[in-house]
Amino acid sequence: MYLRTLHLQQFRNYANQFVEFNAAKTILLGDNAQGKSNLLEAVELLATLRSHRATRDRELVQEGQETAYVTANLERSLATADLALVLRASGRRTVALNGETLRRQADFLGVMNAVQFSSSDLGLVRGSPGQRRDWVDALLTQLEPVYAAILQQYNQILRQRNALLRQKQEKPPMACLPLIPTN
């Protein structure tokens, strides 16, 4: 599988950029602040629906615009795939696969696989176990999209458990009376 085309509209510093990749491997070269990282971030979004640099979609939409578009064409072993991601400054995003809008974003995961590595990822080695778990979770979600639903359920159960433990901790313990044996 490799990325054949990438089209960005109102995404970060790109008003309208179409890139065609003619080989399975590509090297991006350019001066600082030219948009190399933004291109890679768009690829990451298509693969994981997450950005390692932004927490909200409005950060990805070009300033002064309401909507950004990231589309791509993938060459796969059996067929090609057209991916489309619409980001809105209001926060509501839309995903489409081969021209069909998907109701669940989880159905978009796993179509394109990508691994992003940067100098900030050295935290995987030096950082907390939580960082390593998050990284592994992101990879597993790409390989097995059903893992995203399982992870979501797990996190919900974990939040409920922690809320219950906090609730129990806030209540004063009941006084215990000693048992007096009867004869």
Q: Is residue 63 part of a domain?
A: yes
Q: Is the pTM of this model over 0.75?
A: no
How confident is the model over 36-91, as pLDDT tens digits?
999 999 999 999 898 988 989 999 999 999 999 999 999 888 889 999 999 999 98
- Same domain? For 95 and 136 the reply is no
Q: Are residues 36 and 97 in the same domain?
A: yes
Contacts of 122 (CB under 8 A, 6+ apart): none
pLDDT in tens, 101-112: 999 988 888 889
- Residue whose pair of structure tokens reads 């089209």 in the numeric block: 7
Both 8 and 93 in one domain: the answer is: yes
Instruction: State whether 66 and 141 are in the same domain.
Output: no
CATH number for the domain that contains residue 54: 3.40.50.300
Q: Are residues 36 and 10 in the same domain?
A: yes
Pairing of strands 67-75, 100-101: unpaired
How many distinct structural domains can be found in the chain?
2
Is residue 7 located within the same domain as residue 93? yes
| pLDDT tens-digit readout, 137-165 | 888 888 888 888 899 999 999 999 999 99
Most confident of 8-22, 23-37, 127-141: 8-22
pLDDT at 123: 77
Q: Are residues 110 and 125 in the same domain?
A: no
So what's the pLDDT on residue 15? 95
What confidence score (pLDDT) does residue 174 get? 62
Q: What does the pLDDT look like over 167-180, one tens digit per residue?
A: 888 876 666 666 66
